[in-house]
Amino acid sequence: MPNPFKLNLVHRPRRLRRTAGLRALVEETVLRPEDLVAPLFVIDGKGRPEAIPSMPGVSRLAIPDLVKECRALGKLGILAVALFPRIDARLKDEEGTAALREDALILRAVRAVKRAVPGLTVMTDIALDPYTSHGHDGVLTADGRDVDNDRTVGILSGMAVLHAAAGVDLVAPSDMMDGRVGAIRRALDAAGHEGTAIMAYTAKYASAYYGPFRDAVGSAKAAGTRGLDKRSYQLNPANRREAFTELKLDEAEGADIVMVKPAGLYLDIIRGLRYATRKPIAAYQVSGEYSQIHAAARLGWLDLALCRRESLIAIKRAGADMILTYFAREMAAELRKAP
């Protein structure tokens, strides 16, 4: 019997969605384990991993367990990790002096990982918030009302040189101080570390989604408040053009990779920077993005695996070349199982 509703269509886009094979042939965005960077939290001592309640499935790792995790990630095809220390509160002060100790936890962690997994790319955070008693990313002005930009940059430059000497492949200044990329580049070159790359946190927004991360490194409690105000140095979430100003400056100062943080809520910024630069773009799917997906999945409102994949595909589709994500291990394992 003829179909009375038959449409005389030349173009039927559904033809290429009909089977899994056809869909794969025309897939535009492909996510690979090599696209993922695993952020890892390191603690001192030799104790068991410390679960982070606000980040399900994520733990702080002592150096021996950190090395084991890095080996496991490498076997899954993940080529890079980003290390973040949680130091003893007794080592913190207003100047963040522990950041410049030659026996600093992060330096010992870098050396251990590079010895055990020499082919793994290691990047480290260059900022003072894990080290300061007030929780800010730099040292404060004399009146305590703001972060002292230029004095902070001097400390960060020394910190970057120490990290490079320990063997990191990329230093990643996340502090958002003016001029810090150029100063770090000059300091690295002067110390003979011309091969150490800089991944600049180019567009790091003053987001409300950083809470679980601050729990992980201890900066929220150290500051005494979850509402730590970093708006005098991080970007205004309402601003788009400002990101392009930061991009031009970071490129001119010698950044090798530029980053957008957070990722999921700032896909327009990722896309805009993709059109504006030929530099590789990193995007950081931050702790709040990770934890909210887990929370909704635990309540049965979302499918964890499907939302995990979709969130990362969206970031890659927007233009990111690499994604820092706490889903890295699980996502890489899933991708390796795919036919």
The answer to the question of residue 11 being in a domain is: no
The CATH number of the domain where 286 resides is what? Answer: 3.20.20.70
> pLDDT per residue over 127-161, tens digit each?
999 999 999 999 999 998 899 999 999 999 999 99
Q: What is the mean pLDDT of residues 99-114?
A: 98
Q: Which domain holds residue 276?
A: 29-337
Is pLDDT of 194 > 80? yes
How would DSSP label each residue in 97-117? GGGG-TT-HHHHHHHHHHHH-
The answer to the question of residue 41 being in a domain is: yes
Residues 305 and 337: beta-carbon distance below 8 Å: no
Catalytic residue among 221, 230, 248, 261: 261
Which is it for the CA torsion 296, 297, 298, 300, positive or negative? positive
CA distance 155 to 150: 9
4: confidence class by pLDDT, cuts 50, 70, 90: confident
Residue with the two structure tokens 């706490």: 326
The answer to the question of residue 5 being in a domain is: no
CB burial of residue 291 (10 Å; 0-12, 13-18, 19+): buried
Nearest to 183 by CA among 148, 155, 146, 205: 155
CA distance 171 to 191: 14
Tell me how far apart the 2 most distant CA atoms of the chain are, in Å.
Answer: 86
The answer to the question of residue 150 being in a domain is: yes
The answer to the question of residue 20 being in a domain is: no
Six-digit token string for 246 = 């930061």
pLDDT value of residue 225: 43
Residues 315 and 267: beta-carbon distance below 8 Å: yes
Respond yes or no on whether the N-terminal peptide bond of residue 237 is cis (omega within 30° of 0).
no
The answer to the question of residue 216 being in a domain is: yes
The answer to the question of residue 66 being in a domain is: yes
SS3 sequence of 182-227: HHHHHHHHHCCCCCCEEEEEEEEECCCCCHHHHHHHCHHHHHCCCC
Q: What is the mean pLDDT of residues 90-115?
A: 97
219: confidence class by pLDDT, cuts 50, 70, 90: confident
Catalytic residue among 92, 204, 279, 316: 204
Half-sphere exposure for 95 (CA within 13 Å, toward CB): 8
Residues 305 and 334: beta-carbon distance below 8 Å: yes
What is the number of residues in the chain? Answer: 339
**Residue 259: enclosing H or E segment and its boundaries?**
strand 257-261
How would DSSP label each residue in 119-181? TSEEEEEE-STTTBTT--SSPBPTTSSSB-HHHHHHHHHHHHHHHHHHT-SEEEE-S--TTHH
**CB neighbours of residue 151 within 10 Å:** 15
pLDDT value of residue 227: 55
CA distance 96 to 87: 11
Nearest to 60 by CA among 68, 69, 51: 51
pTM > 0.85: yes
Q: Active site includes 230?
A: no
What percent of the chain is modeled with pLDDT above 70? 97
Nearest to 235 by CA among 215, 255, 249: 249
- Which amino acid does the sequence have at 221? K
Six-digit token string for 122 = 């290691």
> pLDDT per residue over 260-292, tens digit each?
999 999 999 999 999 999 999 999 999 999 999
Cα angle value 168/317/172 (rounded, 5°):
20
Q: Active site includes 316?
A: no
The answer to the question of residue 198 being in a domain is: yes
Six-digit token string for 240 = 């788009």
Question: How many domains, the chain?
Answer: 1
Six-digit token string for 221 = 């409690």
Nearest to 219 by CA among 328, 84, 110: 84
